[in-house]
A and B are shown apart, each in its own frame.
Chain A
Amino acid sequence: MAAAVEHEVSHPALQHHFDNLEQQREAGTLGMWVFLVTEIMFFGGMFLAYTLYRSKFPDAFASASNHLSLPLGAVNTVVLIVSSLTMALAVYSAQVGKRRNLILFLVLTIVLGSAFLGIKAVEYKDKYVDHLVPGKLLPGNAFSPVVAAHGDTDPHKLHMIGSATVKQVEMFYWIYFAMTGMHAIHMIIGVGLLLVLLYFSWRGRYGPEYHNPVEILGLYWHFVDIIWIFLFPLLYLLGRHLMHA
């Protein structure tokens, strides 16, 4: 009978190895944070590579960065921050038990996340057209950008600053595609998980007592947002001021 008393407020979502929903919630949140620590180390390695090569080839990194589209990068930053807000509002809606709002905000987050990926695809295509995909990753489209002559303002050509070389610019694009590519894969996984949450929210599984899945996916989504908060200035803005110098 003692067990029955402990599980007095038993909930269908409560797993048998937890005493109560509160303990289950804390364990789930802690688990997600431990995962995010490994993610910080994973992206940290790439930020380290970026810092190292940028300090080695400052002119090349500035030249290559200037070829990225600042408007598209800035719009994507805004899209992602709004999606973080809608995700936070989805968590809030689950906590206060507003199922319709929860569904609405999950849908908005999915739409914004997909918009981000769409804009990213447009950017990748621009780099493909200008032969800026590093190495020979794409058969028949090896890294071979055209370097602009002095005075040539063609935006499809590389405009070199100082002592930059094409080989060094290629290094920037390795790092650019590795970092934004890993970030985009995280976004795709995030959108996939949001669709699962949407399905269960539709079925009415989440409410004020139980909504830990919504909360921990929120943690993941905000983490991916933070990565972009660093990627945007580091990749798109460095060396902009050297354009007119």
Chain B
Amino acid sequence: MSEHIVSLKVYFTIFLSLMVGTALTVWAGLQDFPGPLNVIVALTIAVIKATLVVLYFMHVRYSSRLIWVVFAAALFWLGILFALTFGDYWTRGWL
């Protein structure tokens, strides 16, 4: 697999999207959304921004399967960390 050179156009498009995302997250943070919507909006924007950085700035979109597996493993173990811990805390009141 030979190296893929990401074009300047892609870099600048991603950069602009990240800037828009930052402006959007500040704006959303100052709005009074009902219930837990503020957190959901903030985290959704953050996840989208992080995904853009990983796929394009970090070249994962153009990387080998092996890199995908390594990155997916990190997310998987992170999921276990959160799921088991909160599985414990949330169910303590059931006893």
Contact = CB atoms under 8 A, between A and B. Distances in A.
B74 interface: yes
Shortest beta-carbon contacts, A-B, top 7: A237-B29, A233-B42, A37-B74, A241-B32, A40-B74, A85-B15, A222-B57
Main secondary structure of the interface of B (DSSP, over half): helix
28 contacts: A26-B1, A26-B66, A30-B66, A33-B67, A33-B70, A40-B75, A48-B81, A51-B82, A55-B89, A77-B22, A78-B22, A84-B18, A84-B57, A88-B11, A89-B11, A92-B6, A92-B8, A226-B50, A229-B46, A230-B46, A233-B29, A233-B42, A234-B42, A237-B29, A237-B42, A241-B31, A241-B33, A242-B32
B95 interface: no
Given A85-B12, A95-B5, A233-B29, 20 more contacts: A26-B1, A33-B67, A37-B71, A44-B82, A48-B81, A52-B89, A78-B22, A88-B57, A218-B57, A219-B58, A222-B57, A223-B58, A229-B46, A229-B50, A233-B25, A233-B42, A238-B38, A240-B30, A241-B38, A244-B32
Interface residues of B, number: 48
Interface in A62-94: 70, 74, 77-78, 81-82, 84-85, 87-89, 92
B25 A237 contact: yes
Interface string B1-16: 1110110100110010
Interface residues of A, number: 51
A22 B2 contact: yes
